[in-house]
Chain A
Amino acid sequence: MATATFRIWRAEKGQGKFQDYTAEVSAGMVVLDAVHQIQAEQVGDLAVRWNCKAGKCGSCSAEINGMPKLMCMTRLNTLPLDRPVTVEPMKAFPHIKDLVTDVSWNYDVKKRIPKFQPRQPDAPDGTWRIAQEDVERVQEFRKCIECYLCQDVCHVLRDHHMQEQFIGPRFLVYAAALEMHPLDVGDRVEDLRKQFGLGLCNITKCCTKVCPENITITDNAIIPLKERVVDRFFDPLSKLFRVFSNSKR
């Protein structure tokens, strides 16, 4: 049977090094299978977070050969096995152990975004009427599995550590889903500009590239939000209008 080398980051609290492990590989295997095999046969205490093995829980995010990916959805036959496969934890979050990071910052960010606020029901029986077109616009955003690979790859968070000023692509998608929801009457535009740091995104589209659910994050979520901010705060016509209405007073 064929074997491959897996170069896995082994560390506690950031202190650590790459360690090479050889594993038997067979048809149909994914990186998570190999990591589990190494865990069961060689290093019982190798820390790795996982759950569904079907790309739907978003737990097994890691960096494979330097690319943010879900370990359960990365088939070995898509990787060059003639050299070691590197497996590292996500870099944008505090490290805990081996491949496990502390992603709790994301949960705190989500709590800060104003919740869904539906308008009054359209009909006396408490129901609403929505156009199919409006449903479809936000459907894509609901595919998010919160794997945080987009947060991991975003240079504003990863390299500039602006977690205080910027909520990251995941939560811009979340905010877009709420803002574009046909029933929602909440207004997050000012928050997006000021507290959530929307302007810090300079649309390099790395988030879109790594999304395992293929959500068009930049084009369909972030840019429309930027347009809303521009409309509200930087539109020259309304600026002019404001100047005139002030001069009358």
Chain B
Amino acid sequence: MYHQFKQLADIDITEEAMEVGPTTHYMMGGVKVDADSQMSDVAGLFAAGECAAGLHGANRLGGNSLSDLLVFGKRAGEYAAAYAKENSLGAVNRDELGSAEKWALQPFERKGSDNPYVVQHTLQDAMQELVGIVRQEQEMRQVLERIQELKGASGRVSVAGNREYNSGWHTALDLHCQLTVSEIVTRAALERKESRGAHFRDDFPTKDKQYDGFNIVVRKGAGGEMQLIHEPIPPMREDLQQIIQEMK
């Protein structure tokens, strides 16, 4: 730690004060996957590690992420390999592919001067300040409005250059996903009117029993809207419950 502070911040922590504060250290939410196979609800799509959800509950403990990766990364790979052997390659819809390509190349064709980095930084700042460590309803509602505005702006960004190692273009393409994920995080945080684990609500500072026992799962509705579903957490297997009792 001494070395890190010295090299990165030029601070000698044996002589000077170092700043210590809470920070967003991990994303407990993510892609909903099957606990054994790590397959998502989209057949053939597997997720493991920080992008997957469910393993760490409301707050991940230090060091558990690495063991998560080792165990469930291995499992995801094995199940994905087995899935690939059992299933033949799906057909590619040429029309969908064509429209995806067209969509991806739009930022090169637009003539406006809206900068993708500005949209990204605005979103980052809003999420950091208003949906970050300490949350409250009014602020999060503001962010939902901001996200709608930024969705409009993301459709106007333009980039220069070609497709090789073009960070501006990648940023323009990422915006769509970043806005979707930010909206999911904000809506789910609004829905949970309590504080639990890393989710802290200034307007509901304590844990509330009525929020026990379910996860908030966000799905895309028929009309493209976000649906928030309270999905019960399956009860723990008896043999595991027993182990926990024994360890108490």
Chain A residues in contact with chain B, CB under 8 A? 12, 28, 39-41, 43-49, 54-55, 73, 75, 77, 96-98, 100
Which chain B residue lies CB-closest to A99? Answer: B165
Q: Which of B6-14, B54-62, B131-139 contacts A (4 or more CB under 8 A)?
A: B6-14
Q: Tell me, in angstroms, the Cα distance from A96 to B117 when the chains sit together.
A: 23
Nearest-neighbour CB distance to chain B for A16, whole angstroms, equals 13
- What are 14 A-to-B residue pairs whose CB atoms are below 8 Å? A28-B9, A28-B10, A40-B118, A40-B121, A41-B117, A43-B160, A44-B115, A44-B159, A45-B165, A45-B166, A48-B167, A55-B7, A96-B165, A97-B164
B165 touches A97 (CB 8 A): yes
Residues of A close to B165: CB separation below 8 A = 45, 47, 49, 96-98, 100
- Residues facing A in B1-44 (CB within 8 A) are 7-10
Residues of A close to B171: CB separation below 8 A = 44
Q: Contact check: which of B8, B117, B162 meets A40 at CB < 8 Å?
A: B117
In this complex, the member of A39, A40, A73, A98 whose beta carbon has the largest number of chain B beta carbons within 10 angstroms is A40
Nearest-neighbour CB distance to chain A for B25, whole angstroms, equals 14
Nearest-neighbour CB distance to chain A for B171, whole angstroms, equals 8
B168 touches A44 (CB 8 A): yes
In this complex, the member of A43, A44, A46, A55 whose beta carbon has the largest number of chain B beta carbons within 10 angstroms is A44
Q: Tell me, in angstroms, the Cα distance from A41 to B118 when the chains sit together.
A: 8
Residues of A close to B90: CB separation below 8 A = none
Nearest-neighbour CB distance to chain B for A70, whole angstroms, equals 11
B7 touches A47 (CB 8 A): no
B161 touches A44 (CB 8 A): yes
Q: A44-B171, A45-B161 are in contact. List 8 more A-B contacts (CB 8 A).
A: A40-B118, A44-B115, A44-B116, A44-B117, A44-B159, A44-B161, A45-B162, A48-B167
Given contacts A39-B168, A96-B165, A97-B165, contact A44 B160 (CB under 8 A): yes
A54 touches B8 (CB 8 A): yes
Q: Tell me, in angstroms, the Cα distance from A231 to B11 when the chains sit together.
A: 47
Which chain A residue lies CB-closest to B10? Answer: A75
Which chain A residue lies CB-closest to B167? Answer: A39
Q: Tell me, in angstroms, the Cα distance from A179 to B118 when the chains sit together.
A: 51
Q: Contact check: which of B9, B10, B167 meets A47 at CB < 8 Å?
A: B167
Residues of B close to A43: CB separation below 8 A = 160
Which chain A residue lies CB-closest to B165? Answer: A47
B116 touches A77 (CB 8 A): no
